Amino acid sequence: MATMADPTPTTEQVRAVVADVVGRFLETNPDLGDQAPDPSSGSDGPLQVLAVGSDHGGFHLKERLAADLRDQGFIVRDCGTRSTDAVDYPDIAHEVARKVATGECQAGIVIDGAGIGSAIAANKVPGIRAATCWDVSSARNSREHNYANVLALGAGLLGDNLARQIVDTWLATPHGEPRHGRRVQKIGQLEERYGTRLV
C-alpha cells in the first residue's frame, strides 16, 4: 500500500523560501530598512552591506554564514543560489562582483566547492579583487595587502567554524599601509591598459 510523503518542509527549505522572498523584496525596495552608510563612500571603513552568493556546492555554508552575518548586524544581499539544485558558479560570482563593483554593496563573499572558480570569475569584473582564502592568515593578508573586496571560500575544503573565523577576520581587517595601496593601484592600471569595462 502506497503512503503519502510528508508534506512538511524541512527547516532548510523554509529558510531558502524566506531568503528568496526577502531577497526579491530588497531588490525591488533597496532603501527599506537600510541604515548603513552609502556603499560608494569606500570600502576601507566598517563594512555594513555585503553581497553573498554560492553555487549548489556552497549553498549550505552560504546559508549559515549569511544568518550569522545578519545576526551580527550586517545587511546581506543574497545573490543565490536558493537551493542545492545545480547552477553555474560564474553566474553567481558575477552577480556578487557586480554589486560590489557598482557600489551597491561594500564587499562580497562567494562560495563554491574549492573557492577557486568563483574567484576567477569575480576577478573578470573591473574593480574586483577577489581572493580565495583557506585560513585566517590569508584572509588578513588579502585585505591588508591586496585590499580584497570579494572573499572566495571553498565549502568542500573548510569546516563551518574555520569558515566563520575566516569571514570574521576578513571583515575586521582594514586596508594596510599606503605602500600596499600603491601596488593595488597598479592592478587597476592593468585593467585600464587592457580596456576592461563594467557591463
How far is residue 63 CA from its own chain's centroid?
Answer: 12
d(CA 157, CA 136) in angstroms, rounded, equals 14
Per-residue exposure over 36-56, b if at least 16 CB sit within 10 Å of its own CB, e if not: beebeeebeeebbbbbbbbbb
Main-chain phi, psi angles of 32, to 5 degrees: -70, 125
Has 145 been annotated as catalytic? Answer: yes
Ramachandran region, residue 42 (left: φ > 0; alpha: ψ -120 to 50; beta: rest) = left
56, 94, 145, 175: which is the annotated catalytic residue? Answer: 145
User: Among all residues, which ones are annotated catalytic?
Assistant: 145
